[in-house]
Amino acid sequence: MRRFRVACKTAGAYCGAMTQMIHQPDDSGTAYHYGVIARAIALIDGAAEPLSLEALAAKMGMSAAHFQRVFSAWVGVSPKRYQQYLTLGHAKTLLREQFTTLEAAHSTGLSGTGRLHDLFVRWEAMSPGEFATGGAGLQIFWGWFESTFGPVVVMATEKGICGLSLAAEMGEEAAMADLLARWPAATFTEDPVRLRPWVLAAFGIESGLDRAPLYLIGAPFQIKVWEALLHLPEGQVTTYGAIAQAIGNPKAVRAVGTAVGRNPIGYLIPCHRVLRKSGGLGGYHWGLPVKRAMLGYEAARREGARDAAYSPQSGI
């Protein structure tokens, strides 16, 4: 089974090339980076007070210098700066400072420091009749890749990526079974090489394609919710209620939550950017530690891009 690694380095800049995965992790591998972040989250949650860089590194059995290097390679900022994004209260701060309506996200995302996912992807949806067949007649290709947030299995039809399941918390067997169960009547073929250019493009990496195609397979209401999510820029968040309002059904908050939870294309359809009105994280199909890592990662990248834009070298 062949695997590839995709590693986005900095917001709005070049992203590292996809390479064949190294099975023994080292401090350059994205799976290793996510493992460090997941352990850090658990330690931060269990600490009675904020941990210093040295204390956090020591608890993880790492030197402060090595810990610093891992963080800088993964997200581009120091662990001291990143730690604030991993706290349980960070979601409330995001909701207060980076909340957006879907309308505002669409109108400002192209010019802001956060990117819109539709810069990198285009999408079309399966017809309701086709969806009702459970994938009968569909040929779905799949492959494993290493991402910024650990191993992912990606699936696609000839029309585009239809599934991306994150395995860091739920495990590879469960991640694979999750997608297979969504289209039980389809035919599945392993072919990561075929998928590679689409995965590269979807993560904003040079692949010779302008955009990666997404193929949304779901019920009509689900697809409406997922299309709304595609307009949420990196570094901003919204609520289930705001999505319900945006799709013209303000009373359907619970149904929106269900549709968000059934999103089959993790990260690329950014359901991790949806929070409860109270500032709570809500749920996340692939594990709350992954959601927290994603939100922290994107907030740090947004801040890093803003700092770079106003640095003396930028001339601003």
Condensed to tens digits (0 to 9), the pLDDT of residues 132-145 reads 788 889 999 999 99
- Chain mean pLDDT for the chain: 77
pLDDT in tens, 20-49: 332 233 344 556 777 777 787 778 777 777
Mean pLDDT value of segment 266-280:
89
pLDDT in tens, 116-128: 344 456 777 887 7
- Of 55-64, 76-85, 242-251, 296-305, the least confident: 76-85
* 223, 216 contact by CB (below 8 A): yes
What is the per-residue pLDDT for 24?
Answer: 30
What is the per-residue pLDDT for 225?
Answer: 94
Helix (H) or strand (E) holding 161, with range, is strand 160-166
Residue 95's contacts (CB-CB under 8 Å, 6 or more residues apart) are 237, 239, 275, 279
pLDDT in tens, 202-212: 877 766 777 88
Distance CA 212, CA 200 (A): 8
Active site residue ranges: 271
Q: Output 238 or 98, whichever has higher pLDDT.
A: 238
- Strands 187-190, 139-147: parallel, antiparallel or unpaired by DSSP? parallel
What is the per-residue pLDDT for 313?
Answer: 54
What is the per-residue pLDDT for 156?
Answer: 97
Answer whether residue 301 shows pLDDT above 90. no
- Of 42-46, 56-60, 250-254, 284-288, the least confident: 42-46
Mean pLDDT value of segment 287-309:
78
- Helix, strand or coil, per DSSP, at residue 235: coil
What is the per-residue pLDDT for 69?
Answer: 84
Nearest Cα residue to 216 out of 278, 283, 157: 157
**pTM of the full structure:** 0.76
What sign for the dihedral angle of Cα 139, 190, 150, 14? Answer: negative
Q: Tokens standing for 50?
A: 């904020």
* 238, 262 contact by CB (below 8 A): no
pLDDT band at residue 201 using 50, 70 and 90 as cut-offs: confident
Distance CA 316, CA 313 (A): 8
pLDDT band at residue 90 using 50, 70 and 90 as cut-offs: low
Maximum Cα–Cα distance across the chain: 58
Q: Output 89 or 231, whichever has higher pLDDT.
A: 231
Answer whether residue 271 shows pLDDT above 90. yes
